């Protein structure tokens, strides 16, 4: 058990006016997705007549049902289930008696309502448990008063308060009203992991039934009386902007209400670091139905013109950053040529241990390899969209976004409103992957609603979505390693860069494990916009570093897992440098677990194995992938074994699902993913050319294992993903006898020899 | 504009729309049946899958004028309460992550099982290959299809 100061809990006790008038909520038509225990089927349909709001995360009905609000938005990572599990655990209520709703957006009450960076569970771990424990304490005190007994003699289990000596019991619903009058405890005691009944016990997705029955839950499904449909057209290439347009034909088409231009940001608005946007001047068509608007959009006659070089100032987490945007129409061929050129020149040294250059000159063996990857589009399956209804009184917006607080300011500034007049509802998202942290489309929806003075739903076509920007950058990395005469790794050098940012993490493994080490970086600017994409930078560096280490291990004549463990042993016992940002024992731990679970070392005919391990976003991941060739020789991942260390696993089966998805996504992007450019335009605009992994290409079986420990939990949205590319490259090498250096692997063919 | 009487989920629905309108948008915009999803508009992703006389069909390229008297079933018509064996299997295996594409996956899977009650892994993959899942739930989808087949 641990004592927890109740700072978060007290803030949570600001009762939310959006939820309750005077703290009491009358029950009405709440969807009953979970059956309460010990009640008949008829009673199940009876929702509470009254709800008592114990705090802003939690209300309890007179019949003992509880509604728990999930503070963070959901895009498939499972927070709507796992976060309420953390509250319910400390509340001591039966999970079957819990209903879940998404919380309203209110940063003052709910803190950082941001889903991204694999930080949700990690940052909510103490706060949400404290919320549950505080409510439980208030219920206990209310019961103690009613019975006239010391609160210390009251125990709780499954939503029932018991005073053993007198034999008294009360359900939570029976004292919920009285508990509202109890002072919020200054301090509460949290359970130790050994006492958990809900946490670490798999619970099904609380929205599963709504999903499989097709209920409206996504932003694109948002329904509102009298809502119009809008679509926006942006320039067909990076480096172009709107010059003029003729909407005569579009305006005459059936169902069309208006056609006009919007400018996303107010002139005096200072962009923040998530206001990434190459296309701020858009031509908008508004009409009565999606199909009519789509047709009118196609009929627009728009003239575009080249941009000039420009720059703007953005707020980068409190620091001013000058963002320079170069003019020009860029192409992938030129990008790769430029990256090759910059890779051959000295970069900016960001870490140096020992004397790497000296050792490289005298080493027994030296190996150097270079790797590249293309831009990637997030391709969330639900295209970008947002609902807005702007009136003189204020703005009501609803839709898919990962971080309402990052866009609230831009919405308010563009609409000329104060933030308190902007109400944002977080809908379930059809995928996020980082893309929806950049919610320019919410601002656009607001501006469109204001212009037409009506409720509007802005919907991107797939083509609009794929070509708008905010991509995973294109990267290049060159690695060098030196071995001594005993095949020990004595020097390691990474130099990497990208368009437009560097992916280098100077202090990650194998930094700290090699006496002579150097990390260098370079960047080349671009007008193609980039953004966070599932494990930014790690999603390239993990794969190529792990592919390179595989080749170094081979050169050293060592087993790839043994080779890594030797290095980690050095990092544990006698680390080089002081800023190594990984725990070597935990990285070794996942490698050892995956070695055991995959039966590494057992030779199976026709099965080609690759291994990789990586640490990012506070979590450790290791994979072994088995590649088997089909009858036509096409390699496919037959089996994947994954070992993770994310500390305590809150919802194990859902956590496994996340890792399974990360592995499929990793195989898919390594094999097929790629967005290429010609004259500033993407050469892929829809799924006919942009290849996403499909059923018959996905691993046939995936096993996920977690290191069992009692360390506070960290996230899983990103960490399983990056090392997959390395494990796949290493397995494909065994299968094909040829190393792969350029993603996507499907097009990484050897040069034709004439 | 023209008037069409459509057989949708066992009921006749009348709509007055452009004859070139895809069924996807008739369902979503005119009938408020939004369980059928827009993903690509070019029949490449399977998000918009419905049953047309029992066959899995991409509704984004099926115009309203092509449907005639054929029966359309959407995810809402498979069962309202999630009691269809495929829906139950999806919940049991806890397939969905984001959930956006699962209606399309379920419609394709249920059409497959109607025609082939005991498909092999390869037959499941072949039938489901037109349905993309960006979250990567393919291994669970296969597990759920097999569970539904056995129930």
ipTM of the complex model: 0.99
Nearest to A370 by CA among A540, A609, A523: A540
Q: Do B45 and A76 touch (CB under 8 A)?
A: no
Domain that holds residue B142: 85-150
Which CATH number characterizes residue B139's domain? 1.10.150.120
* CA–CA gap between residue A573 and residue A511 (Å, rounded): 14
Write down the pLDDT at residue A19: 41
* CA–CA gap between residue A638 and residue A636 (Å, rounded): 6
Nearest to A99 by CA among A125, A69, A79, A77: A69
Each residue's pLDDT tens digit, A292-327: 999 999 999 999 999 999 999 999 888 999 999 999
In this structure, the answer to whether residues B11 and B62 fall within a common structural domain is yes
* CA–CA gap between residue B101 and residue A431 (Å, rounded): 10
Write down the pLDDT at residue A317: 81
Angle of the B102-115 helix axis to the B85-93 helix axis, nearest 10 = 130
Nearest to A661 by CA among B49, B93, B95: B95
Phi, psi of A249 (to 5 degrees): -65, -45
Q: How many residues does the structure list for chain A?
A: 754
In this structure, the answer to whether residues B71 and B38 fall within a common structural domain is yes
Q: Do A218 and B100 touch (CB under 8 A)?
A: yes
What tokens were used for A372? Answer: 């590249």
* CA–CA gap between residue A569 and residue A546 (Å, rounded): 17
Q: Do B124 and A701 touch (CB under 8 A)?
A: no
Are A208 and A76 in contact, with CB atoms under 8 Å apart?
A: no
In this structure, the answer to whether residues B28 and B11 fall within a common structural domain is yes
* CA–CA gap between residue A621 and residue A639 (Å, rounded): 16
B6 Cα to chain A: minimum distance (Å): 18
Residue A159 gets the label, from left (phi > 0), alpha (psi -120 to 50) or beta, of left
In this structure, the answer to whether residues B70 and B122 fall within a common structural domain is no
Are A715 and A644 in contact, with CB atoms under 8 Å apart?
A: no
Which CATH number characterizes residue B64's domain? 3.10.20.30
β-sheet bridge partners, residue A517: A353, A492
Kindly give the pairing relationship between strand A240-246 and strand A187-190: unpaired
Q: Which domains, and CATH codes, for chain A?
A: 2-199 (3.30.365.10), 224-311+378-467 (3.30.365.10), 474-747 (3.30.365.10)
b/e map of A705-720 (b: 16 or more CB within 10 Å)?
A: bbbeeeeebbbbbbbb
Chain A: residue nearest B60 by CA? A291
Chain B: residue nearest A640 by CA? B139
In this structure, the answer to whether residues B93 and B128 fall within a common structural domain is yes
- Report the sign of the C-alpha dihedral through residues A462, A466, A469, A470, in that order: positive
**Domains in chain B, number:** 2
β-sheet bridge partners, residue A2: A190
Write down the pLDDT at residue A6: 62
Are A478 and A368 in contact, with CB atoms under 8 Å apart?
A: yes
User: Which of A75, A214, A636 to mutate to probe the B interface, most B CBs <10 Å?
Assistant: A214
Chain B residues close to A695, C-beta within 8 Å: 124-125, 128-129, 131, 138, 141-142
The number of CA neighbours under 13 Å toward the Cβ of A300 is: 27
* CA–CA gap between residue A58 and residue A93 (Å, rounded): 12
Give the domain-ending residue among B43, B76, B109. Answer: B76
Give the domain-ending residue among B56, B76, B96. Answer: B76
In this structure, the answer to whether residues B70 and B9 fall within a common structural domain is yes
Kindly give the pairing relationship between strand A516-523 and strand A489-499: parallel
**At which residue do the structure tokens 């599963």 appear?**
A208
With 0-12 / 13-18 / 19 or more C-beta atoms within 10 angstroms meaning exposed / middle / buried, residue A113 is buried
Write down the pLDDT at residue A749: 82
Question: Which B-chain residues 73-132 have CB contacts (< 8 A) with chain A?
Answer: 74-76, 78-82, 87, 90-91, 94, 96-103, 106, 121, 124-126, 128-132
* CA–CA gap between residue A493 and residue A296 (Å, rounded): 55
* CA–CA gap between residue A95 and residue A535 (Å, rounded): 32
A79 Cα to chain B: minimum distance (Å): 10
DSSP secondary structure letters along A253-286 = STTEEEEEEEESS-TTPPEETT---S--EEEEEE
In this structure, the answer to whether residues B61 and B102 fall within a common structural domain is no
Write down the pLDDT at residue A1: 54
Q: Do B81 and A213 touch (CB under 8 A)?
A: yes
Alpha helices by DSSP H, A72-112? 79-91, 107-110
In this structure, the answer to whether residues B89 and B110 fall within a common structural domain is yes
**At which residue do the structure tokens 């204001």 appear?**
A450
Phi, psi of A181 (to 5 degrees): -90, -5
Are B107 and B56 in contact, with CB atoms under 8 Å apart?
A: yes
In this structure, the answer to whether residues B71 and B98 fall within a common structural domain is no
**At which residue do the structure tokens 């309108």 appear?**
B21
In this structure, how many other beta carbons lie within 10 angstroms of the beta carbon of residue A51? 26
Edge to edge, what strands does the sheet with A24-26 contain?
A24-26, A50-55, A58-61, A66-70, A98-102
Write down the pLDDT at residue A73: 97
What tokens were used for A221? Answer: 């499904």
Contacts of A595 (CB under 8 A, 6+ apart): A561, A601, A624
What tokens were used for B145? Answer: 């299809």
In this structure, the answer to whether residues B9 and B67 fall within a common structural domain is yes
Are A515 and A576 in contact, with CB atoms under 8 Å apart?
A: yes
What tokens were used for A470? Answer: 């905010």
- Does the CB of B30 have a partner CB in chain A at under 8 Å? yes
Nearest to A523 by CA among A490, A547, A499: A499
Nearest to A615 by CA among A552, A546, A563: A546
Supply the DSSP symbol for A240.
E
Question: Which A-chain residues 176-235 have CB contacts (< 8 A) with chain B?
Answer: 204-205, 207-209, 211-218, 220-221, 223, 229
Are A387 and A393 in contact, with CB atoms under 8 Å apart?
A: no
Q: Please, what's the largest Cα pairwise distance for chain B?
A: 46
What tokens were used for A288? Answer: 């009565």
Are B56 and B111 in contact, with CB atoms under 8 Å apart?
A: yes
Write down the pLDDT at residue A680: 98
Q: What is the dihedral of CA A661, A664, A669, A673, to 10 degrees?
A: -100
Nearest CB partner across the interface for A76, out of B25, B131, B135: B135
In this structure, the answer to whether residues B62 and B111 fall within a common structural domain is no
DSSP secondary structure letters along A590-654 = HHHHHHHHTTTT---TT-EEEEEEEEETTEEEEEEEEEEE-TTS-EEEEEEEEEEE-SS-SSHHH
Give the domain-ending residue among B76, B102, B119. Answer: B76
Q: Do A662 and B136 touch (CB under 8 A)?
A: yes
**At which residue do the structure tokens 């799924």 appear?**
A687
Write down the pLDDT at residue A47: 84
Angle of the A538-556 helix axis to the A724-736 helix axis, nearest 10 = 40
Distance of CA A127 to the CA centre of its chain: 21
**At which residue do the structure tokens 């679509």 appear?**
A231
- Does the CB of B151 have a partner CB in chain A at under 8 Å? no
In this structure, the answer to whether residues B57 and B97 fall within a common structural domain is no
- What's chain B's average pLDDT? 97
Q: Do B18 and A382 touch (CB under 8 A)?
A: no
Section B88-108 average pLDDT: 98
* CA–CA gap between residue B88 and residue B81 (Å, rounded): 10
End-to-end Cα separation, chain A, in angstroms: 72
Distance of CA A618 to the CA centre of its chain: 14
Nearest CB partner across the interface for A695, out of B28, B81, B129: B129
Q: Residue A588 in 3-state DSSP?
A: helix
What tokens were used for A122? Answer: 């990690």
- Does the CB of B66 have a partner CB in chain A at under 8 Å? no
What are the Cα distances from residue A371, in Å, to A504, A555, A574, A726?
A: 13, 18, 30, 11
Q: Do A665 and B74 touch (CB under 8 A)?
A: no
* CA–CA gap between residue A700 and residue B128 (Å, rounded): 14
What are the Cα distances from residue A676, in Å, to A132, A474, A475, A669?
A: 49, 10, 13, 14
Low-confidence ranges of chain A (pLDDT < 70): 1-46, 751-754
* CA–CA gap between residue B143 and residue B5 (Å, rounded): 38
Q: Do B41 and A462 touch (CB under 8 A)?
A: yes
* CA–CA gap between residue A442 and residue A459 (Å, rounded): 10
Contacts of A324 (CB under 8 A, 6+ apart): A309, A310, A311, A525
* CA–CA gap between residue A542 and residue A479 (Å, rounded): 13
Nearest CB partner across the interface for B97, out of A382, A657, A698: A657
């Amino acid at each position: 058990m641990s004592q927890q100061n109740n700072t978060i809990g007290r803030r949570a006790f600001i009762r939310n006016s959006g939820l309750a008038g005077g703290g009491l909520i009358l029950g009405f038509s709440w969807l009953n997705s979970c059956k309460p225990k010990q009640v008949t089927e008829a009673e199940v349909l009876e929702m509470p007549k009254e709800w008592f709001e114990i705090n802003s995360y939690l209300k309890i009905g007179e019949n003992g049902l509880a509604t728990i609000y999930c503070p963070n938005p959901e895009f498939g990572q499972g927070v709507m289930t796992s976060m309420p599990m953390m509250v319910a655990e400390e509340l001591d209520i039966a999970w079957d008696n819990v209903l879940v709703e998404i919380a309203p957006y209110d940063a003052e009450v709910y803190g950082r309502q941001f889903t991204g960076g694999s930080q949700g569970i990690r940052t909510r771990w103490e706060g949400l448990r404290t919320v549950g424990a505080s409510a439980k304490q208030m219920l206990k005190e209310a019961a103690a008063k009613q019975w006239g007994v010391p609160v210390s003699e009251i125990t709780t289990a499954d939503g029932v308060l018991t005073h053993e000596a007198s034999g008294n019991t009360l359900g939570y619903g029976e004292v919920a009203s009285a508990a509202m009058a109890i002072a919020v405890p200054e301090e509460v005691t949290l359970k130790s992991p050994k006492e958990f009944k809900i946490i670490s016990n798999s619970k099904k997705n609380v929205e599963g039934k709504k999903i499989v029955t097709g209920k409206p839950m996504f932003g694109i499904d948002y329904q509102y009386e009298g809502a119009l449909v809008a679509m926006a057209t942006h320039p067909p290439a990076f480096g172009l902007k709107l010059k003029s347009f003729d909407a005569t034909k579009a305006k005459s088409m059936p169902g069309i209400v208006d056609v006009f231009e919007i400018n996303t940001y107010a002139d005096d608005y200072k962009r923040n670091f998530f206001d990434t946007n190459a296309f701020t001047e858009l031509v908008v068509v508004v009409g009565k139905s999606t199909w009519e608007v789509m047709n009118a959009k196609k009929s627009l006659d728009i003239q575009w013109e080249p941009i000039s070089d420009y720059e703007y100032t953005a707020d980068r987490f409190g620091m001013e950053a000058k963002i320079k945007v170069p003019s020009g129409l860029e192409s992938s061929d030129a990008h790769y040529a430029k990256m090759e050129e910059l890779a051959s020149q000295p970069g900016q040294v960001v870490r140096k241990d020992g004397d790497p250059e000296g050792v490289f000159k005298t080493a027994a063996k030296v190996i150097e390899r270079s790797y590249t990857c293309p831009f990637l589009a997030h391709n969330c399956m639900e295209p970008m969209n947002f609902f807005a209804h702007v009136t003189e009184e204020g703005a009501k917006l609803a839709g898919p976004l990962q971080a309402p607080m990052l866009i609230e300011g831009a919405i308010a500034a563009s609409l000329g409103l104060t933030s308190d007049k902007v109400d944002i509802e977080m809908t379930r998202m059809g995928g996020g992957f980082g893309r929806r942290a950049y919610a320019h489309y919410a601002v656009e929806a607001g501006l469109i609603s204001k212009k037409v003075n009506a409720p509007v739903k802005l919907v991107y076509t797939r083509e609009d979505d794929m070509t708008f920007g905010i991509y995973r950058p294109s990267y290049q990395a060159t690695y060098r390693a030196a071995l001594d005469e005993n095949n020990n790794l004595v020097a390691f050098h990474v130099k990497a860069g990208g368009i437009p940012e560097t992916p280098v993490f100077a202090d990650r493994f194998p930094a700290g494990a090699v006496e002579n080490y150097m990390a260098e970086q370079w960047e080349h600017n671009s007008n193609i916009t980039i953004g966070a994409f599932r494990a930014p930078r790690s999603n390239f560096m993990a794969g190529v570093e792990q592919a390179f280490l595989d080749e170094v291990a081979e050169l050293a004549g060592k087993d790839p897992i043994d080779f890594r463990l030797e290095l980690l042993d050095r990092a544990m016992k006698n680390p080089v440098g002081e800023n190594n940002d990984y725990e070597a024992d935990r990285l070794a731990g996942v490698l050892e677990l995956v070695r055991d679970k995959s039966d590494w070392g057992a030779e199976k005919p026709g099965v080609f194995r690759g291994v990789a391990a990586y640490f990012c976003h506070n979590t450790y991941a290791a994979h072994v992938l088995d590649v088997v060739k089909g009858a036509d020789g096409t390699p496919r991942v037959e089996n994947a074994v994954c070992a993770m260390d994310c500390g305590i696993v809150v919802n194990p089966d859902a956590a496994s699902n996340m890792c399974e998805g990360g592995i499929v996504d990793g195989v898919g992007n390594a094999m097929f993913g790629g967005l290429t450019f010609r004259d500033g335009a993407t050469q892929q605009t829809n799924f006919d050319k942009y290849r996403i992994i499909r059923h018959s290409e996905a691993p046939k079986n995936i096993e996920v294992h977690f290191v069992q420990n009692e360390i506070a939990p960290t996230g899983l949205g990103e960490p399983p993903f990056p090392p997959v590319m390395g494990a796949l490259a290493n397995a494909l090498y065994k299968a094909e006898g040829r190393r792969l250096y350029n993603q996507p692997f499907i097009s990484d063919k050897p040069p034709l020899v004439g | 504009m023209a008037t069409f009487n459509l057989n949708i989920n066992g009921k006749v629905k009348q709509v007055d729309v452009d004859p070139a309108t895809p069924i996807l948008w008739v369902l979503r915009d005119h009938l408020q049946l939004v369980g059928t999803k827009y993903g690509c508009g070019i029949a490449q992703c399977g998000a918009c899958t419905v049953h047309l006389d029992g066959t899995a069909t991409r509704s984004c390229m099926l115009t309203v004028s092509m449907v005639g008297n054929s029966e359309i079933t959407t995810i809402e018509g498979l069962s309202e309460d999630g009691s269809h064996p495929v829906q139950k299997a999806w919940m049991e295996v806890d397939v969905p992550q984001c959930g956006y594409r699962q209606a399309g996956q379920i419609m394709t899977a249920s059409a497959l099982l109607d025609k082939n009650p005991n498909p092999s892994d390869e037959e499941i993959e072949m039938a489901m290959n037109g349905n993309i899942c960006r979250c990567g739930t393919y291994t669970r989808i296969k597990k759920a299809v097999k569970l539904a087949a056995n129930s």
